[in-house]
Chain A
Amino acid sequence: MAVLKPEEMLSLAEDVVSSAVKKGADEAEAYTYQGLTTTVGIERGQVARSSRIIDCGLGVRAIVNKAVGFSYTNVLEDKVAVEETILRAISSARASKPDENWLGLPPKKPLGSVEDTYDSKIVELHAEDLVRVASVMLEAAEQTDKRVLPIDGGAGASYLSNAVANSNGISVFDHGTIIECSLATVANDGKNVTPVCFEFNAERRYDIDPEWVGKEAAKLAVSALKAKKVETKGSKVIFTQFALQQLLYYTFINAVKADYVQRNQSALKGKIGQRIASEAVTIYDDGMLKGGIHTGKFDAEGVPQQKTLIMEKGILRNYIYDNYTAKKEGLESTGNAARAGYLSTPAVEATNFHIMPGSRSPEKLVNEAEDGLIVYFVQGAHSSNLASGDFSVVAAPSWKIEKGEVTHATKGMMVAGNIYQVLANVSAVADNERKIGQLVAPWVLVENVKVIGK
């Protein structure tokens, strides 16, 4: 199967940039992307499908008279198609009005080094290997409890590479790997069906534990049986990483993006240097994190990724920037430009959003919650108010904590509030950090969260 070599991706990007400038662009940037993914899928208790997806493409930004045009194609072997893509980027720019805030593409800078982002073992995996991973996970779930049905999940291995070149001399290439396995389960005891329970493991190196994923997904579902309603009141709540990721993704993570701040869409505008969370909360956006899912040498504009202090013991220290938003304020990009493959222009995005762990064990945290709740997943976080941080979500599965011990699952429970109130009310942070999407975080204990039960 035709696959592009690193030097081919770089030379294509460089050629496109010089061709665009020759054709009349004031500045130009080319982004080449390649993704090779093999997956096996579990459907209702069995491995039933497998797929191989090859996706390569080119995205071109051309700037004419301070207006930006963009065009992309996935037809790379055809020189004419590539030339047409360059011309379309230029004609799109010509059709747009100048943007006074456009101050040029990013300059060339030396790249740092990152660890544990590529593993040749993952590249060499075959579908048969992933079938084995998925089977181990399935069997572990089935052996844990007969009432558990693994409804969905699987295993996947990806090789991703990209190159960026621009007319300021940036010309960079990087590649990486990811392997993951996941299992969604429900438990059914003849009377009740649980909400969907989910566990997964994703790593940049070939170091995943499918047996653990299978067991945990099954254990979660079984303990979600026999749910009871709870009282409506203010309560201590432990949010696990899944729930935190959902709640933060649609609110706080957007609010620290310079784009949202500059456009009056962020509740954190003008709050640098101010206390907005409890002292227990320290957060970095760490694009260099060892083995991080979003770790890479450079961002989607070829700017080096970096480690940026967002919140220091509750005090807001920095926003995150791409090239455009940084130059608008006379600053330098924090290496936070991201793209959806070759199909889109860069936009500000967090890398590894790292909430620093504390020293308490998760058991100790449950103990400290006394008469409280532990929320694993939330439903409906995408309906949060991005601007204000208000949220109102279903918390399921969740468990009641009584006298410092987990007692039973809850039924039909909602939690509501404001994400900034939640951050201000964090009273303790556990030591059990893990990676979930952009978030790297431990469990957190929050005081006085509004719980709506019966």
Chain B
Amino acid sequence: MKDILGKVVNFATQKREAEYVEARAQRLFKTMLTVKEGRVEAAKQGIENGAALRVLVKGAWGFASVGALGAETLTEAVSDACKMAKAASSRLKVPIKLVEAKAVQDKVVLKPRKDPSKVPVEDKINTTSSLSNTVLGYDNRVKSCTIDYLDVTGTTFFMNNEGTYIEQDNLYVWLGVSATALQADVLTSSRDAVGSTAGYEVFDVETPEIVGERVAKRAVDQLRAKPPKGGTFPAVLAPNVVGTFVHEAFGHLAEADFTLSGSILAGKLGKRIASNLVTFYDDGTIDGAFGSFKYDDEGVPSQRTLLVKDGVVTGLMHNRETAHKLAAKTTGNARAKDFRVEPLIRMRNTIMEPKDRSFEELVEGVKFGYYFKRFRGGEANLDGTFQVGTQEAYEIVQGEIGEPVRNASVSGNTLETLLKVDAVGKDFELWPGICGKGQSAFVCDGGPHIRVKEVLVGGSA
């Protein structure tokens, strides 16, 4: 592979006037299962080989992607990419430049205890079947259970014209499970996920029984939940919700492409935007975490990037283009879902740092408010308006956890809300997820419990 990519890179610089060239290639193998009420809808296995060629010509990006790995096809494709770049450069006002990155030569070999590509499909079917049985057997009000299992193994290759060549083993294991429960006219749903870059051994910890009970119990408990009141209330957020809040409400705005587009973090570097209890970082180096990797898709080493320290913005997440534009250092956040697409600035494991308070201390000061335990989804806008929907939440009444509430969602302005964080817990949890920004990316979000003086709660009906 090294020889072929080398030829292609040289061709673009020597014959096609490319200022910068990178060639990414992948040889990946996937297994997927979709299981509905214990029935395997289809056991799926597939091969995805392909290459992505990205070039800078006259200051504009050109990109070509092909599902092939032969030298001739790739040379044609890189030639195509140069043509595309030239076309794009015709109306360019500000040429694109990249920040310097150290040339790297490396081979990343993974040695999982249980390599998913060596686990027979039958075993994977058994794991999902016992998960399904746990969920459906938990209570007769549980009516459906859907499981999506995915594992990815294989190797990706990266070469550029600056002397970098990297071969990197890939390993991802993902399982998403959802359940619905029904009683009289009330229909509830819940979902949960397992994700790892360590190996199939993740199911030794997140066993089908543990995960199954978690998701089934939540669906059943919600049957007796009531809708929340709409309005402004104090709130305690659990790690799972804090993680989503950090990711959605802050993280996306700290992706330098969004910051440059005018997100509310533009021009905030070095300034206070949050209470001094708030420290955020994006860390791609946590062993086995779903958002970890050694090199990003521009060949830049992943790292732990401090974003907010004691309430002050200290950094953004970059690719080489935005790092140059904002005179920053590389952070290794450029990720492409596969060979079909260009890398974008993406998060890895995005985290709020724990402090010193116990859960009881967080709750005891609240006369009436809400405890948001488990997120369903979230989204933010560049103006800092965020929304995080929850699948599990409770009232807090006179400092005690009270009745469950259904489908509550939290909203507000990110910066106003971060200034209202008035207590941060000492616990910590990290949860896997799949983030969508045009392409999907495997990530983790996490943090401790926190308390916020007030948030807008959108009650249903």
B387 close to A (CB within 8 Å): yes
Cβ of B84 under 8 Å from chain A:
yes
Instruction: Check if A46 sits within 8 Å of B381, measured CB to CB.
Output: no
Q: Which of A69, A96, A382, A387 contacts B188 (CB 8 A)?
A: A387
Most interface-central of B63, B73, B257, B260 (chain A CB within 10 A): B63
Taken together as a complex, chains A and B put the C-alpha atoms of A56 and B67 apart, in Å, by 7
**Is A195 a contact of B382 with CB atoms below 8 Å?**
yes
B182 within 8 A of A: yes
Could you tell me if B67 and A149 are in contact, using CB atoms closer than 8 angstroms? no
8 Å CB interface, A165-193 against B: 186, 188, 192-193
Which among A38, A54, A344 has the highest number of chain B CB atoms within 10 Å?
A54
From known contacts A50-B62, A127-B87, A263-B144, infer whether A72 and B262 are also in contact, taking CB-CB under 8 Å.
Answer: no
Select one of B96, B230, B379 contacting A414, CB under 8 A: B230
- Complex Cα distance A151/B62, Å? 19
User: In the complex, what distance in Å separates the CA atom of A54 from the CA atom of B95?
Assistant: 27
Max count, chain B CB within 10 A of own CB: residue among A73, A186, A188, A414: A414
Residues of B within 8 A of A49 (CB): 60-63, 84-85, 88, 342
Which chain A residues numbered 82 to 103 have a C-beta less than 8 Å away from chain B? 85, 88-89, 91-93, 95-97, 99, 101
Residue in B closest to A386 when the chains form the complex, CB atoms: B189
- What chain A residues lie within 8 Å of B186 (beta carbons)? 388
Q: Do residues A385 and B92 form an inter-chain contact, with CB atoms below 8 A?
A: no
Contact residues, B366-394 vs A (CB, 8 A): 375-383, 385-391
Determine whether A152 belongs to the interface, using a CB cutoff of 8 Å to chain B: yes
| Distance between Cα atoms of A133 and B75 in the complex (Å) | 29
Would you call A72 and B60 a contact (CB within 8 A)? no
Within 8 Å CB of A46, what residues of B?
A: 91-94
Is B388's CB under 8 angstroms from A383's CB? yes
Contact of A424 with B by CB under 8 A: no
Which residues of B337-358 are within 8 A (CB) of A? Answer: 340-342
Is B215 an interface residue when CB atoms closer than 8 A count as contact? no
Tell me if B212 is interfacial: C-beta within 8 Å of chain A. no
A61 to chain B, nearest CB (A): 7
CB pair A55–B383 under 8 Å, yes or no, is no
At the interface, yes or no: A306 with Cβ under 8 Å from chain B?
no
CA separation between A415 and B459, bound complex, in Å? 9
Sorting the interface of chain A by its residue count into under 10, 10 to 19, 20 to 34 or 35 or more gives 35 or more
Residues in A neighbouring B61, C-beta threshold 8 A: 41, 48-51
Q: Contact at B84–A51, with CB atoms within 8 Å?
A: yes
Residue of A nearest to B389 (CB): A383
Q: Decide if B67 touches A92 in the complex (CB within 8 Å).
A: no
A192 contacts which chain B residues (CB < 8 A)? 383
- Partner pick for B340 among A55, A68, A91, A344, CB 8 A cutoff: A55
Nearest CB of chain A from residue B320's CB, rounded to whole Å: 14
Q: Is A267 an interface residue (CB 8 A)?
A: yes
Q: Chain B residues with Cβ under 8 A from A195's Cβ?
A: 381-383, 385
Which of B65, B67, B458, B459 sits near A393, CB closer than 8 Å?
A: B458
How far does the Cβ of B61 sit from chain A's closest Cβ, in whole Å?
3
Give the residue name and chain of the A residue nearest to B377 (CB): A383
| Residue of B42, B50, B186, B406 with highest tally of chain A CB at under 10 A | B42
Q: Do residues B44 and A70 form an inter-chain contact, with CB atoms below 8 A?
A: yes
Query: What residues of B have a CB within 8 angstroms of the CB of A99 in the complex?
Result: 39-40
B92 touches A47 (CB 8 A): yes
Taking a contact as CB atoms under 8 Å apart, the answer to whether A92 and B188 are in contact is: no
| Inter-chain contact A68/B42, CB cutoff 8 Å | yes
A240 located at the interface, meaning its Cβ lies under 8 Å from any Cβ of chain B in the complex: no
Instruction: Please indicate the chain B residues that have their CB under 8 angstroms from the CB of A53 in the complex.
Output: 63-65, 340-341
B103 on the A face (CB < 8 A) = no
B68 at the binding interface (Cβ < 8 Å): yes
Question: When chains A and B are docked, how far (Å) is the Cα of A424 from the Cα of B388?
Answer: 27
Q: Is the CB of B42 within 8 A of A74?
A: no
A-B contact count (CB 8 A): 303
Residues of B contacting A196 with CB < 8 Å? 381-383
Q: Does A412 contact B456, Cβ atoms closer than 8 Å?
A: yes
Q: A127-B88, A383-B377 are in contact. Are A392 and B459 (CB under 8 A)?
A: yes
- The distance in angstroms between the C-alpha atoms of A107 and B88, with both chains bound, is 48
Q: Is the CB of B87 within 8 A of A126?
A: yes
Verify if A437 is at the interface (C-beta below 8 Å from B).
no
The answer to whether B152 has its CB under 8 Å from any CB of chain A is: no
Question: Which chain A residues border B46 with CB–CB below 8 Å?
Answer: 71-73, 85, 343
Beta-carbon contact of B68 and A77 below 8 Å: yes
Q: Is the CB of B458 within 8 A of A416?
A: yes
The residue among A46, A264, A392 with the most chain B CB atoms within 10 A of its own CB is: A392
> Bound complex: CA of A345 vs CA of B35, how far in Å?
13
Interface members, chain A 2-43 (any B CB < 8 Å)? 2, 38, 40-41, 43
- Let me know if A387 and B87 touch, CB within 8 A: no
> Is B80 at the interface (CB under 8 A from chain A)?
yes
Known contacts A57-B67, A92-B42, A452-B459; is-contact A392 B407 (Cβ 8 Å): yes
B47 touches A131 (CB 8 A): no
Report how far A38 CA is from B65 CA in the complex, Å: 11
Chain B min CB distance to A364 (Å): 29
Which residues does chain A contribute within 8 Å of B446, judged by CB atoms? none
Question: Which chain B residues (27-43) contact chain A, with CB distance < 8 Å?
Answer: 34, 36-37, 39-43
Q: How far is the CB of B233 from chain A (nearest CB, A)?
A: 12
Do B122 and A95 have beta carbons less than 8 Å apart?
yes
The reply on A238 being an interface residue by CB < 8 A is no
Which listed residue, A47, A390, A392, A452, touches B91 by the CB 8 Å rule?
A47
A81 to chain B: which residues have CB within 8 Å?
A: 47
CA distance in complex: A53, B340 (Å): 7
Partner pick for B262 among A61, A128, A193, CB 8 A cutoff: A193
Central interface residue in B46, B68, B457, by most chain A CB within 10 Å:
B46
Residues from chain B with Cβ under 8 Å of A50 in the complex: 60-63, 84-85, 87-88
In the assembled complex, the Cα of A237 lies from the Cα of B222 at a distance in Å of 29
Would B88 and A379 count as touching, CB distance under 8 A?
A: no
Instruction: Flag whether B134 is at the interface (Cβ < 8 A).
Output: no
Q: Is A52 in contact with B84, judged by CB distance below 8 angstroms?
A: yes
A265 within 8 A of B: yes
Contacts A75-B68, A383-B390 known; list 4 others, CB within 8 Å. Answer: A51-B342, A75-B67, A379-B380, A414-B411
Interface on B for A, CB 8 Å cutoff? 34, 36-37, 39-50, 60-68, 73, 76-77, 80-81, 83-85, 87-88, 90-94, 96, 120-122, 125, 143-144, 146, 180, 182, 186-189, 227, 230-232, 257, 260-264, 340-342, 375-383, 385-391, 406-409, 411-413, 456-461
Give 20 CB contacts A-B under 8 Å: A44-B261, A46-B93, A48-B96, A49-B63, A51-B342, A68-B43, A85-B46, A92-B44, A96-B42, A97-B40, A193-B383, A345-B42, A380-B387, A380-B388, A380-B409, A384-B389, A385-B391, A388-B186, A392-B408, A414-B411
